Structure 1
Amino acid sequence: MTEKKTARRHEEQDIPALPATSWAVLGLLSFGEELSGYDLKKWSDWSLRFFYWSPSFSQIYGELKRLEQAGFAASRMVAQETGTRDKRVYRITDEGMAAVRTWARTAPVDPPVLKHGPMLRLWLGHLLEPEQMREVLGQHREFAESMRKRAEADVAGAQTEEAWKYPMLTLKWAERYYASERDLADAMLADIEELERGSRP
Structure 2
Amino acid sequence: MRHVTDKRADAVDTATGEDGPPALPATSWAVLGLLSFGEELSGYDLKKWSDWSLRLFYWSPSFSQIYGELKRLEKVGYLSSRMVAQETGNRDKRVYVITDAGLAAVRHWAREAPVEPPVLKHGVMLRMWLGHLLEADRMRDVLGRHREYAETMRQRAEGDAEETFGEEAWAYPALVMKWSERYYAAERDLADAMLADLAERDRRLP
TM-score (norm 1): 0.93
The farther-off stretch of 19-28 and 104-113 is 104-113
* Cα contact 1:12–1:106 (8 A) shared by 2: no
Moved over 3 A (4+): none
Aligned counterparts of 2:202 and 2:68: Cα–Cα separation in 1 = 51
Runs of 5+ consecutive residues of structure 2 not aligned to the other structure: 1-15
- 1:121-132 paired onto structure 2 within 5 Å: 121-132=127-138
| 1:93 paired residue number | 99
Task: Indicate which of 88, 111, 119 corresponds to 1:113.
Answer: 119
Aligned counterparts of 1:145 and 1:85: Cα–Cα separation in 2 = 40
Aligned counterparts of 1:132 and 1:152: Cα–Cα separation in 2 = 30
Task: Indicate which of 141, 150, 153 corresponds to 2:147.
Answer: 141
- 1:1-201 paired onto structure 2 within 5 Å: 13-199=19-205, 201=206
**Number of equivalent positions:** 191
Q: Rate the CA distance shift 1:148–1:112 in 2: closer, same or farther, 3 A.
A: same
Q: 1:12, CA displacement in angstroms? A: 6.4
Aligned counterparts of 1:136 and 1:149: Cα–Cα separation in 2 = 20
SS in structure 2 at match of 1:67 = helix
Q: 1:56, CA displacement in angstroms? A: 0.2
Q: 1:157, CA displacement in angstroms? A: 1.4
- Between Structure 1 and Structure 2, the one with more helix by share is 1
Amino-acid identity (%): 75
What's the Cα RMSD here? 1.2
Runs of 5+ consecutive residues of structure 1 not aligned to the other structure: 1-9
Q: 1:14, CA displacement in angstroms? A: 1.6
CA distances 1:37-61 after superposition (whole Å, capped 9, x unpaired): 0100010011111111100000000
Q: Rate the CA distance shift 1:11–1:165 in 2: closer, same or farther, 3 A.
A: farther
Q: Rate the CA distance shift 1:169–1:198 in 2: closer, same or farther, 3 A.
A: same
* Larger radius of gyration between Structure 1 and Structure 2: 1
